Amino acid sequence: MPDSALPAPNPIDRIRRLSLIMQGVVIAGALFAEIGLAWVWLSPGIIEWLVLPRLGLSPADITLDGTARTYGFLISSLPLTVVFYALYHAFFLFAGYRRGEIFTARAAERLRHIALAVIGAIFMSPLVQAALSATLSFGATPGNRSITMSFSLQDYLVAALGGLLLAIAYVMAEAVRIAKENREII
């Protein structure tokens, strides 16, 4: 049977399938993030390999006792709560898409929450870095304690993506409002 004889896939069915997949990705991402964060802070070797280079600290200038690692975990959990907030809204955004609620005020609002969480997490990042570097270097000898902060090109790009999502959310909300007005006129 030639391809042209096959019925064209329904776009709504594709959106539903993709939304179901994305809901699974959101759940897996949330689980991976929490388990990964705990794994990092339970292992001093991983902290030295993964966290210290990002903070610009050397292993000689830090303390990795249980207290420092507990505080490190708690400090690192702060931006993760913002990420979970975004994932929560993403999960329900895709749930709405699965129900066929695509261009709705609720979908635009969820997208706005996701965008604000992305932007918030990026601007929270330098403060978290400062708190982590101060916590980890607190036990160092005087003169070797440090507070580091940075804002990278990657942070800028993610913030720009958050801004793009925010703009799309506002455009989508306005489109929903105009569509509603047009339905009321007719």
Q: How far are the Cα atoms of 15, 71, 88, 110 from residue 101, in angstroms, in the given order? A: 11, 42, 17, 12
- Across the chain, which has 186 residues, the per-10-residue mean pLDDT values are 66 93 98 96 93 86 89 96 97 97 95 97 93 88 77 90 97 94 83
- Rounded CA separation 93/87 (Å): 9
Q: Where are the domains of the chain?
A: 9-185
Residue partners of 52: CB distance under 8 A and separation at least 6: 58, 59, 62, 136
- Could you tell me if 94 and 19 are in contact, meaning their C-beta atoms sit under 8 angstroms apart? yes
Q: Which of 141, 138, 144 is nearest to 65 (CA)?
A: 138
Write the DSSP string, 50-63.
Answer: IIHHHHT--GGG--
- Rounded CA separation 122/165 (Å): 14
pLDDT score recorded for residue 40? 95
pLDDT score recorded for residue 135? 92
pTM for the model stands at 0.85
- Rounded CA separation 119/83 (Å): 10
pLDDT score recorded for residue 72? 95
pLDDT score recorded for residue 38? 96
Residue partners of 28: CB distance under 8 A and separation at least 6: none
Residue partners of 164: CB distance under 8 A and separation at least 6: 115
Residue 64 identity (one-letter amino acid):
L
pLDDT score recorded for residue 162? 96
pLDDT score recorded for residue 60? 81
Q: Which of 86, 98, 56, 73 is nearest to 169 (CA)?
A: 86
